[in-house]
Amino acid sequence: MSTVRTRFAPSPTGRMHVGNLRTALYAYLIAKHENGSFMLRIEDTDQERFVDGALEIIYRTLAKTGLIHDEGPDKDGGYGPYVQSERNAQGIYLNYAKQLIEQGDAYYCFCTKERLDSLKASVGEDGKEIAVYDKHCLHLSREEVEAKLAAGEPHVIRFNMPTEGNTTFHDDIYGDITVPNNELDDLILIKSDGYPTYNFANVIDDHLMGITHVVRGNEYLSSSPKYNRIYEAFGWEIPTYVHCPLITNEEHKKLSKRSGHSSYEDLTDQGFLTEAIVNYVALLGWCPEDNREIFSLEELVKEFDYHHMSKSPAVFDMTKLKWMNGEYIKAMDFDKFCDMALPFVKEAVKSDLDLKKIVQMVKTRIEVFPDIPALIDFFEEVPEYDVSMYTHKKMKTNPELSLEVLKKILPVLEDFEDYTNDALYDLLCGFAKENGYKNGQILWPIRTALSGKQMTPAGATEILEVLGKEESMKRLHAAVEKLECV
């Protein structure tokens, strides 16, 4: 078997959409699973859609996600140029289009926009609306064509589709698809601006670049029979098609920027880790036999068998991505986590506290970094809270008992010097035992008094340690005053 060669062929039109990232990832995995080559090709023939900076985004995203291409505009592998506008400047597409004209498989078309518009509206003999071009210009004589070209009349080059019979094409995921040839439009190969259409350029390039597996979104599925016709006209081998299923949001609608999952950078902006995004995106349309979910890129390369891809739409589930991100955060090396978490800690805590200890507290409790400030803001200041928070059934406590306990414990904590977690824990549990309280009846009121919250990323003694004696005493006194007012 020949070496697997796949390509990622983005158009530089903006941020990297999740669907594009998934296509890039699958193309990469399909190649690497077989020790093949993964190529980057820039499809910039639609000059109107070109967006400044989009090329940088493509390179940056591939580099960050680890989808390293073996060949591309910046890495010549002997199949270049890898940018379609450069290929066009070399006349590659026009030459092949002319070859098809010679063979009778393509022809010049001079129809004006008005004529084409009027065609769309017309109704055929059988009463059906005509959606395909009527081959008007196919019937021009050679002399007529020469004269129009010499006069500089605007024109395109169209493929001459057969009008009878069927075309069947095979996709490895979707199976065999058959369409009647009279439904295949005479595709434009070369546009009036001299650039090839995607339809033509993808066939020419995939062939010339030796692509064995064409991996792309399923929006191209319905056009693939037409591409096969072009391959056949040239007598070229048709590649293996792997069309990837649609990705929708939780409401089964198109992914949108508003819901925050449209592009890779939208996701990183929201604090998702690249590794988690790549892992999650891999599961949008593919599932290993054992339903395992956590995979590094290397593990994906090993496990990814594209025959297990699905054809039904994949739902992008933010809740699941968040969960997965949390798993990656938990497994993260502490120093790396610290570097990434500190800016978020500093957002909430401006006071001179041991921020590293706070970072430690949140590591197992967040799903994304932006969760941090709301978890720890009480270190800066106790928020407004209601005394009903002192009630806790399981801890067997309430505001009255809390007041009693806090008043008793204040002088004990005042006299204590060793504000470290273990020492404080021993002190408070010892106090509970001696005075006939349950541990929770001591710890719950203290934690509430210090944080004003029912949920904190750490227990009472850890919070005491981070706040230190002075600030802790201040907060405990304030809590007693608050409870006395009830």
List the binding residues for ATP. Answer: 257
Q: How far is the CB of 199 from ligand GLU (least distance, A)?
A: 10
Q: Please provide residue 40's backbone torsions phi and psi, each rounded to the nearest 5 degrees.
A: -110, 125
The residues in 284-313 that bind ligand GLU, with binding defined as CB under 6 A, are: none
Q: How far is the CB of 346 from ligand GLU (least distance, A)?
A: 40
Number of residues counted as binding ligand GLU (CB under 6 A): 7
Minimum CB distance to ligand GLU smaller for 9 or for 277? 9
How many Å apart are CA 443 and CA 428, to the nearest integer? 8
Q: How far is the CB of 375 from ligand GLU (least distance, A)?
A: 40
Candidate list 75, 120, 257, 330, residue with the active-site label: 257
The residues in 207-226 that bind ligand GLU, with binding defined as CB under 6 A, are: 216
Minimum CB distance to ligand GLU smaller for 9 or for 424? 9
Q: How far is the CB of 337 from ligand GLU (least distance, A)?
A: 35
Per-residue x/- mask for ligand GLU, residues 164 to 203, rule CB under 6 A? Answer: ----------------------------------x---x-
The residues in 235-264 that bind ligand GLU, with binding defined as CB under 6 A, are: none
Minimum CB distance to ligand GLU smaller for 50 or for 323? 50
Is 257 considered catalytic here?
yes
Question: Do 204 and 93 contact (CB within 8 A), yes or no?
Answer: yes
367 binds ligand GLU (CB under 6 A): no
Minimum CB distance to ligand GLU smaller for 16 or for 476? 16
Per-residue x/- mask for ligand GLU, residues 32 to 71, rule CB under 6 A? Answer: -----------x----------------------------
Minimum CB distance to ligand GLU smaller for 31 or for 366? 31
Q: How far is the CB of 285 from ligand GLU (least distance, A)?
A: 15
Which residue ranges make up the annotated binding site for Zn(2+)?
109, 111, 137, 139
The residues in 3-22 that bind ligand GLU, with binding defined as CB under 6 A, are: 9-11
Question: Do 133 and 185 contact (CB within 8 A), yes or no?
Answer: yes
Per-residue x/- mask for ligand GLU, residues 406 to 425, rule CB under 6 A? Answer: --------------------
Q: Please provide residue 216's backbone torsions phi and psi, each rounded to the nearest 5 degrees.
A: -160, 175
Minimum CB distance to ligand GLU smaller for 244 or for 359? 244
Pair of tokens at residue 211: 């692509």
The residues in 103-132 that bind ligand GLU, with binding defined as CB under 6 A, are: none
Question: Do 297 and 278 contact (CB within 8 A), yes or no?
Answer: yes
Name the site residues for ligand GLU (rule: CB under 6 A).
9-11, 43, 198, 202, 216
Annotated active-site positions, please? 257
